[in-house]
Structure 1
Amino acid sequence: MSTTNYYSSASSSAICFSPHGVPSKCWCGENITTFTSKTKENPYRRFYRCVIAMKRENEDHLFKWVDEALLQEIRMVEEKCKLVAQDVNALRMEVMGTMKLHNINFKKMEDAMSKKIMKTVGVASVILCSIVWLWGRV
């Protein structure tokens, strides 16, 4: 967007269509430009307007104060940040739940392996003792 200083007698009552946030195009399809107000009511206040609207002030084209548009943009970004934070929290809770399940499954596998090892050690001990006993009888 280019910044140009023009005299503007535009008022917010001439709004035909005003999108939420910072506009990029007028309803007529023309790109939006930033102008500076030279009115007594709003001296040096910046606003968005298309070039056609500046040439034909009696037509209703997009008009929006820059400060109001930026405030709307900030509020939209804040809402998006809240949604992202909610998504992150939901994902964190899901990951924590999955980790708990993995830990439970790991513990079960560990217990099962421990029991199998104990059985194997027990059987090996019996076999070894039997071999030693048999060896001693020979």
Structure 2
Amino acid sequence: MSSSYSSGMNGSFNRRGAERGLPKKCRCGAESVIKTADTLKNPGRLFHCCPYGSKEDNGHLFKWTDIAMVEEMKEVEGVVEKIQAEMESLACETRTCEAVASSYEKEIEAIKALAKGCEKEIGELKAMIVCSEKEIQSLRCFKNIIVCSVVLFVVYVFIF
């Protein structure tokens, strides 16, 4: 029976040079297999081994599955702790981003209020322009009346 597990979460090794966690391959490159011990000392105990290894040949893979599982769980715990730390960091960053966004919302509201004030001032300026245009029109009429009066006066003076 071949193992479907990868070797260790991060490929770390223990003191004897063997991979930590569930082994996938032997040093010789062969896929590891899971077997059941039939000895008096370890009856029914599962182990990972190389299909080419033997009791006499220590150069091939041999590892108790329960020990490999404990190592694998420790590796998983380490990964989970790193993920939790990253999640806490991301939560902190999220809160910071929300605070910055909130401050921008306040600035945007202030800009909107300022824009409304500008709209009011622009309306007032437009009204002043309309009023000024009416005054200019009145002054043009007045100027025309004065020019006509001067022309009539000059004509009157030269005729009489």
Q: Any idea what the Cα deviations from partners look like across 1:5-59, whole Å, max 9, x if unmatched?
A: xxxxxxxxxxx742100001111212111111111111110111111113xx311
Structure 2 spans left out of the alignment, 5+ residues: 4-15, 131-160
Q: Which has the higher strand share?
A: 1
State whether structure 2 residue 77 is matched by structure 1 residue 78: yes
Aligned to 1:27: 27
Q: Cα RMSD over matched residues?
A: 2.6
Structure 1 spans left out of the alignment, 5+ residues: 4-15, 132-138
Q: How does 1:1-138 map to 2 (within 5 A)?
A: 1-2=1-2, 17-54=17-54, 57-60=55-58, 61-121=60-120, 124=123
Normalised by the length of structure 1, the TM-score is 0.72
- Measured after TM superposition, the shift of residue 97 of structure 1 is 0.7
Identity %: 25
Q: Any idea what the Cα deviations from partners look like across 1:84-126, whole Å, max 9, x if unmatched?
A: 1111221121122112111101201211221331343366468
Letter in 1 for 2:75: M
Point out the structure with max Rg over C-alpha.
2
Letter in 2 for 1:59: D
- Aligned pair count reads 120
- The secondary structure found in structure 2 opposite 1:51 is coil
Normalised by the length of structure 2, the TM-score is 0.63
- The secondary structure found in structure 2 opposite 1:38 is coil
Higher relative CO (CA 8 A, sep ≥ 6), structure 1 or 2? Answer: 1
